[in-house]
Amino acid sequence: MPAELRNVIYFVAAAMFIFGIKGLTHPRTAVRGNMLGAGGMLLAIVVTLIDKEILGWQWIILGLVLGSSIGGYLGVKIQMTAMPQLVALFNGFGGAASALVGGAVMHELISKGESITTQGAVAIAATGLIGAVTFSGSMVAFAKLQELISGKPITHLGLKAANTALTLLGLGLAVMVVMNPQAAWAYWLLVVVMLGLGVLLVLPIGGADMPVVITLLNSYSGLAACATGFVLNNIVLIIAGSLVGASGLILTRIMCVAMNRSLTNVLFGVMAEVGDAPSADEIYAGKVKSTTPDEVAMLFDGARRVLIVPGYGMAVAQAQHAVRDLAGLLESRGIDVEFGIHPVAGRMPGHMNVLLAEADVPYDQLKEMDEVNSTMEQVDVVMVIGANDVVNPVARTDPSSPIAGMPIVDVDKARTVVVVKRSLSPGFAGIPNPLFAADNCLMMFGDGKKMVLELVGALKAG
Amino acid sequence: MSDSVLLLTIFGLAMIVGFEIITKVPPTLHTPLMSGANAISGITIIGALVAAGHEETWLTVVLGVCAIAFATINVVGGFLVTHRMLSMFRKKG
């Protein structure tokens, strides 16, 4: 096949990726968009395979069969609650594949005795650098999300020094690869150093900051593919890789804004120390009102507008189907039910939306934070299920609080708030929530799923 | 214009197009966007196929096959799971 024709077909594939992502701008066109993207991928693969440069098929088939069976199994079997882990895993595989290709191309050129251009050497170094960090960082993120290791933030003074040392060492090795592209050992040493850096970078980051980590690694996996494109002078890799890189960067920004923290603060900082803020005992003492499902069922009798605010606790309790039943029951009684979703609720962007969509909640019922906040005063009952920091009014009222300035769902402004929660324990920010002691707040203590099911039962009986 | 500059231009334009389209993706579809992006980042399979297919040395074949496997997991798993999620969003509404 002439190179021109191949490049034209690569361009068509790249265009299909762009229009595929464009389809994701609306739920109605999204399925078609995803298929368009898959079609573009198939086209790019087929063109590469029928190209005359391919000599040996048996190895290619081995890799394809292995990858398809694992990918197919994961894609079909994975639980929707495990999506953050799966995306973390895929981020890592993308990075690993790119780093391996970078190394393979380097060895091939050295073995052929061909000289490596400066562009090629820079791109190879970048591939190893980004690909390796993405792989190891993603594996740690996966382990944290899968709870194989503790999700708690780890802070150690030595970490910063170690990170700086590894970064400098990695950059030095990258320069060495560029100066002497025949030195394959430098490439692999670079990969090893970056693998270590990836582990150290993600290890200290706590569970609730995972959305930022996953989106950033998502971006890196795209940029690694992009760097591979510069190694191979291949436009479809560059275009597809940049699309993924841009997507991850945008999502990272959205997550940081939603937490009112800078990216460096999330990655290297620790949550600000809790200053002279009142202690949990002072805030809660004697003011927390506990309630029962029966009482809440009666509360709904007089309600016309209900807002449900889910958080990570809903995912942990697998309460999404029970919540759907509750919403359906309330709607059948003529109550207007909406869901208010904070951008960082859960462990990845859109986490709550996917769980509720799985439970058949129509997507037009899922409202963004700003939208529900503008009409919060007219809401009769808010049900907060497994969320804490994202509904903490301290973010608005106390400038010295670690979450000061973070946009929150203003549930405290509704007429009545019911919070479903196991205990009064603090959220990720480690601070007490005055909402729980507010006059218009009732606490329904217990497991999210169990309490919502009991509430549904009480409503049906009542 | 040298090849490197041409490729950098394409890179820059693709980033701009990416930013323009992706800012329009609604938050409700951010998780499928990420898994779809996973699938697309599997495009590195193109490089892996070439590396394994050339059969230059045993080392490049091993590296290539491993890269093919990783990238294929992303492509197949990424598109499948994205499809599953998006079908759920389409059911109602």
Mean per-residue pLDDT pooled into runs of 10, chain A (462 residues): 89 97 95 97 94 78 96 95 95 97 95 91 96 97 90 75 93 95 94 96 86 95 97 95 96 92 76 60 86 93 94 92 96 95 92 94 93 95 94 91 90 95 85 92 94 94 80
Interchain CB distance below 8 Å, B35 and A83: yes
Please report residues of A whose CB lies closer than 8 A to that of B15: 242, 245-246
Nearest CB neighbour to A96, from listed B19, B38, B70:
B70
**Catalytic residue (choose from A209, A389, A410, A412):** A389
B1 in contact with chain A, both atoms CB, cutoff 8 A: no
Q: In B, which residues are within 8 Å of A237 by CB distance? A: 43-44, 46-47
Chain B residues closer than 8 Å to A105 by CB: 47, 51
Task: Report yes or no: A455 and A296 within 8 Å, Cβ to Cβ.
Answer: yes
- pLDDT mean for each 10 residues of chain B (93 residues): 86 96 95 96 94 89 95 97 92 52
Of A22, A86, A349, the CB nearest to B30: A349
Q: Do the Cβ atoms of A67 and B65 come within 8 Å?
A: no
Q: CB of B43 within 8 Å of any CB in chain A? A: yes
C-alpha span between A94 and A89 (Å, rounded): 9
Distance CA A238, CA A92 (A): 19
- Given a contact cutoff of 8 angstroms between Cβ atoms, the answer to whether A286 and A322 are in contact is no
Amino acid identity, residue A6?
Answer: R
Is residue A213 within 8 Å of residue A138, measured between CB atoms?
A: no
Distance CA(A174)–CA(A181), nearest Å, equals 10
Closest Cα in chain A to B69: A67
pLDDT at B93: 45
Angle at B33 between CA A16 and CA A204, to 5 degrees: 135
Q: Is the dihedral of CA A417, A422, A425, A429 positive or negative?
A: negative
- Which B residues in the span 64-93 are in contact with A, Cβ-Cβ below 8 Å? 64-93
| Rounded distance between C-alpha atoms, residue B20 and residue B22, angstroms | 6
Stated length of chain B: 93
Contact A56 B52 (CB under 8 A): yes
The reported pLDDT for the residue numbered A267 is 76
Cβ <8 Å between A86 and B92: no
Q: What is the pLDDT of residue A2?
A: 83
Domains within chain A, CATH numbers bracketed: 78-268 (no CATH), 280-461 (3.40.50.1220)
Whole-number pLDDT of residue A462: 73
How is residue B76 annotated by DSSP?
I
Catalytic status, residue A439 = no
A98 touches chain B (CB under 8 A): yes
Please answer yes or no on whether B73 and A70 come within 8 Å at the CB atom: yes
Q: In what order do the strands lie in the sheet with A441-445?
A: A366-368, A336-341, A305-310, A381-385, A416-421, A441-445
Q: Which amino acid is at A126?
A: A
Count CB pairs under 8 A between chains A and B. 384
Q: What pLDDT shows up at residue A427?
A: 82
Chain A residues in contact with B28 (beta carbon < 8 A): 27, 341, 350, 353, 357, 363, 366
Q: Which residues in chain B have Cβ-Cβ distances shorter than 8 Å to A127? A: none
Which of B31, B41, B63, B91 should we substitute to test contact with A (largest number of A Cβ atoms within 10 Å)?
B41
pLDDT for res A270? 56
Contact A97 B87 (CB under 8 A): no
